[in-house]
Chains A and B, each alone.
Chain A
Amino acid sequence: MSEPQPIDAADLEVHPEKLKVTDQLAIEIVGMNKWYGQFHVLRDIDLTVYKGERIVVCGPSGSGKSTLIRCINRLEEHQKGKIVVDGVELTSDLKNIDKVRSEVGMVFQHFNLFPHLTILENCTLAPIWVRKTPKKEAEEVAMHFLRKVKIPEQAAKYPGQLSGGQQQRVAIARSLCMKPKIMLFDEPTSALDPEMIKEVLDTMIQLAEEGMTMICVTHEMGFAQAVANRVIFMDQGQIVEQNAPKEFFNNPQSERTKLFLSQILGH
């Protein structure tokens, strides 16, 4: 049996003319540090994200890339520095945290759908209980996004009855139902079979073409080349290199990046 082939940038159908970056601030991270006990996971992170950007974060495991994006919606707490998301600074103020979380969608590696609720209920829960949307309206919005991710016919089923790729697309639809301004993707395709990766990436491309601000931790370098406007390489809790994808892949500056790219792209 041959190794599963990584998805090449050429396999993905992207309309580059639709990908636009604005000059409005979406996220501002200044001098952010985080420790797990004595372990310094994130060191002096500075990152400014503009609306419409598609940023791919890559790096070896344990480099802090997941922790970084989990700090943006406060699933992880930072101990030093400043994170401002859409004009709201993340502090221990619970009101601010809930406000940021309802504006920032997140897609997880293991989907994390709610197994006791149907697909439709998964999608309508947060709009109904957080946004106070009337149930009927929430259901219409949910069906709209389920059609968008191409699984409206599964609405009445439970997550356990769907394939991995379908579940991940539901997870994306669930986030979109909150009409978020920013989407975070934490290795969205790492738990999927190769033939399902593409259907999820296609959904993400569609999202990017609609102008969504996206930060994506992924090893899909094809996706990074085709969609990202910026690639960030992290190692040992630090941003080692960031550049436009073309420069990043063709002309990496740091030795650490070169080594990582040679390992991940192989051959």
Chain B
Amino acid sequence: MADLTFVRTQMLPPQEAPGAAVGAVRWMRENLFDSWLNSVLTLVSGFAVVWIVVHIYPWFAQSVWNASSLQECRAIIQERFGEGAHGACFAVLRERWQQYLFGFYPADLYWRPTLAFFLMLAALAPVLFSGLPRRMLWFSAAYPGLAYWLLWGGSIFTPIAIYAGFVVAVLAHRAVAGRWGGLAAMIVAVAALLIWWFYLAGPVARTLAAPGFFSLRPVQSNQFGGFTLSLVIGVTGIAFSLPLGILLALGRRSDMFFVKTICVGFIEFIRGVPLITLLLVASFLLNIFLPPGTNFDIILRVIIMVTLFASAYMAETIRGGLAALPRGQYEAADALGLDYWKSMRLIIMPQALKISIPGIVNNFIGLFKDTTLVAIIALLDPLGLTTAIRADSNWNGIIWELYGFVALIFFLFCYSMSQYSQYLERKLATDHR
């Protein structure tokens, strides 16, 4: 039998790892060249990347920023880079970028949408980042009214009168809650809100506005366009479709027959109809049903349709999150004596929404890009503007520069949303799986 005893007399010092096992070399070995097939694919892909860059680079390098028409652009490029040279004509962006941002908003009032945009960032910050002081949420709540005033102008008492509706509703709720109980108070509050908005808010605002204090020059909805329009529709749609979607999802899972039927009917109907159809209804048909003489703002109509459309999808996304929660969570909340709304708000929704984040952001991004469909009903969103610019004889024939620019801006917004959603998912990951 062999000798199995062994005693180490000298300890080994640690040694440097061989070059092939660390750093960039190792990474490349593992990821790019770990078999002959992958090596071939790596080389082919590398060649394709180089080929694309080589062909696109001159288009950027030989671009022209100063010209007043496409013909002039081409002439400058030929002159500078020789016969047959191709290059981008970014001069069109230089000439029209303000139109892309603001549409036909009066040029001397550009500061208003610009200010509204930056205030929007400030209003969003406390909603998106829970680390910021909660008091900032008051500004977020006031922001929609402020933005309305800045964008459309007129008297500040118009948004104030609309906000006052909530005060009226709360007062009505308080007055009734003690006597007739919660449900009756809720119904009375909603009724008071609607009565105030439809019949009283207008006269009150007009009376207060008469002296002309705090009035901005009014801007009509048909002067809106470009990314201002996309953002107004997109942000409002996003802000309202989430709560509406939550209510619809809860309604669809409700035990109450009528609530459930209404929610299912709404979701299935709205989901089953193309958005363009709804926009056309908003644009042409709605006026037929409204009392003659009512001027129901076209952007408001579009926002309502886009919100309803997105909320139906949102409801189904959130329902998926609700269905993924174990029954035990509902039972534990019930067993502790939490009522329906408290258990939804504190236990069920935080978890269901967390599960649904990828789907919710998916819907947000879809909604934001769908705002370009308003071009169909002659609103000048970035794509509608592009068509208009291309119809200009100076810029006839230009394609890549314009659509590329629009795509880039949309990409920036959508990519930020995606990045935020990933940050949120990481932050909320408490399950330690």
Instruction: Annotate A113-153 by CB proximity to B: 1 below 8 A, 0 otherwise.
Output: 11110000000011001100000000000000000000000
User: Which chain A residues lie closer than 8 Å to B332 at the CB level?
Assistant: 106, 108, 112-114
- Beyond A110-B328, A125-B346, whether A102 also contacts B336 by CB under 8 A is yes
Kindly state the separation between the CA atoms of A94 and B336 in the bound complex, as whole angstroms: 14
- Verify A108–B346 contact, CB threshold 8 A: no
Other than A115-B431, A175-B336, give 10 A-B pairs with Cβ distance below 8 A: A75-B335, A99-B337, A101-B334, A108-B335, A110-B326, A113-B332, A114-B332, A129-B338, A129-B342, A178-B337
Expressed in whole angstroms, the minimum distance between the Cβ of A87 and any Cβ of chain B is 16
Instruction: Annotate A174-197 by CB proximity to B: 1 below 8 A, 0 otherwise.
Output: 110010000000000000000000
Q: List the B residue with the shortest CB-CB distance to A171.
A: B332
Q: Which of B328, B336, B346 has the most CB of A within 10 A?
A: B336
User: Which chain A residues lie closer than 8 Å to B350 at the CB level?
Assistant: 116
The yes or no answer to B80 lying at the interface (CB within 8 A) is no
List 15 A–B pairs whose Cβ atoms lie within 8 Å, in order of A's numbering.
A98-B337, A101-B336, A104-B335, A105-B335, A106-B335, A108-B331, A114-B351, A115-B430, A115-B431, A116-B354, A125-B336, A126-B336, A129-B338, A158-B432, A160-B430
Kindly state the separation between the CA atoms of A174 and B336 in the bound complex, as whole angstroms: 9
- Verify A161–B329 contact, CB threshold 8 A: no
Kindly state the separation between the CA atoms of A120 and B351 in the bound complex, as whole angstroms: 18
The yes or no answer to A73 lying at the interface (CB within 8 A) is yes
Top 9 A-B pairs, shortest CB-CB distance: A102-B337, A160-B432, A112-B332, A112-B328, A126-B336, A101-B337, A106-B335, A158-B430, A130-B337
B375-433 residues at the A interface, CB under 8 angstroms: 428, 430-433
Q: Which of B329, B337, B347, B428 has the most CB of A within 10 A?
A: B337
- Verify A73–B335 contact, CB threshold 8 A: yes
Expressed in whole angstroms, the minimum distance between the Cβ of B5 and any Cβ of chain A is 34
Q: Which residues of A contact B (CB under 8 A)?
A: 73, 75, 94, 98-99, 101-102, 104-106, 108, 110, 112-116, 125-126, 129-130, 158, 160-161, 174-175, 178
- Verify B337–A112 contact, CB threshold 8 A: no
The yes or no answer to B108 lying at the interface (CB within 8 A) is no
B311-363 residues at the A interface, CB under 8 angstroms: 326, 328-329, 331-332, 334-339, 342, 346-347, 350-351, 354
User: Which chain A residues lie closer than 8 Å to B347 at the CB level?
Assistant: 114, 125
User: Which chain B residues lie closer than 8 Å to A106 at the CB level?
Assistant: 332, 335
Instruction: Name the contact of A130 in the complex, choosing from B329, B338, B428 (C-beta under 8 A).
Output: B338
Kindly state the separation between the CA atoms of A101 and B338 in the bound complex, as whole angstroms: 8
Kindly state the separation between the CA atoms of A251 and B123 in the bound complex, as whole angstroms: 74
- Beyond A112-B328, A158-B430, whether A129 also contacts B346 by CB under 8 A is yes
Q: Which residues of B contact A (CB under 8 A)?
A: 326, 328-329, 331-332, 334-339, 342, 346-347, 350-351, 354, 428, 430-433
Kindly state the separation between the CA atoms of A99 and B433 in the bound complex, as whole angstroms: 36
Kindly state the separation between the CA atoms of A101 and B351 in the bound complex, as whole angstroms: 23
- Verify B431–A130 contact, CB threshold 8 A: no
- Beyond A102-B336, A129-B338, whether A112 also contacts B351 by CB under 8 A is no
- Beyond A114-B329, A160-B432, whether A126 also contacts B339 by CB under 8 A is no
Q: List the A residue with the shortest CB-CB distance to B328.
A: A112
Kindly state the separation between the CA atoms of A126 and B335 in the bound complex, as whole angstroms: 10
User: Which chain B residues lie closer than 8 Å to A160 at the CB level?
Assistant: 430-433
Expressed in whole angstroms, the minimum distance between the Cβ of B130 and any Cβ of chain A is 13
Expressed in whole angstroms, the minimum distance between the Cβ of B361 and any Cβ of chain A is 19
Kindly state the separation between the CA atoms of A81 and B324 in the bound complex, as whole angstroms: 35
Q: List the A residue with the shortest CB-CB distance to B327.
A: A112
Instruction: Name the contact of B336 in the complex, choosing from A99, A110, A130, A158 (C-beta under 8 A).
Output: A130
Kindly state the separation between the CA atoms of A99 and B334 in the bound complex, as whole angstroms: 11
Q: Which of B326, B331, B350, B428 has the most CB of A within 10 A?
A: B331
User: Which chain B residues lie closer than 8 Å to A110 at the CB level?
Assistant: 326, 328
User: Which chain B residues lie closer than 8 Å to A112 at the CB level?
Assistant: 326, 328-329, 331-332
- Verify B351–A115 contact, CB threshold 8 A: yes
Expressed in whole angstroms, the minimum distance between the Cβ of B257 and any Cβ of chain A is 15
- Verify B339–A178 contact, CB threshold 8 A: no
Kindly state the separation between the CA atoms of A113 and B332 in the bound complex, as whole angstroms: 8
- Verify B334–A94 contact, CB threshold 8 A: no
Kindly state the separation between the CA atoms of A98 and B431 in the bound complex, as whole angstroms: 29
Instruction: Name the contact of B338 in the complex, choosing from A113, A115, A126, A158 (C-beta under 8 A).
Output: A126
User: Which chain B residues lie closer than 8 Å to A116 at the CB level?
Assistant: 350-351, 354, 428, 430
Kindly state the separation between the CA atoms of A39 and B360 in the bound complex, as whole angstroms: 41
Q: Which of A126, A160, A174 has the most CB of B within 10 A?
A: A126
Q: Which of B326, B335, B338, B432 has the most CB of A within 10 A?
A: B335
Q: List the A residue with the shortest CB-CB distance to B335.
A: A106
User: Which chain A residues lie closer than 8 Å to B335 at the CB level?
Assistant: 73, 75, 101, 104-106, 108, 175
User: Which chain A residues lie closer than 8 Å to B428 at the CB level?
Assistant: 116
- Verify A108–B328 contact, CB threshold 8 A: yes
Expressed in whole angstroms, the minimum distance between the Cβ of B115 and any Cβ of chain A is 38
User: Which chain A residues lie closer than 8 Å to B351 at the CB level?
Assistant: 114-116
Kindly state the separation between the CA atoms of A175 and B339 in the bound complex, as whole angstroms: 16
Q: List the A residue with the shortest CB-CB distance to B347.
A: A114
User: Which chain A residues lie closer than 8 Å to B431 at the CB level?
Assistant: 115, 158, 160
User: Which chain A residues lie closer than 8 Å to B337 at the CB level?
Assistant: 98-99, 101-102, 126, 130, 178
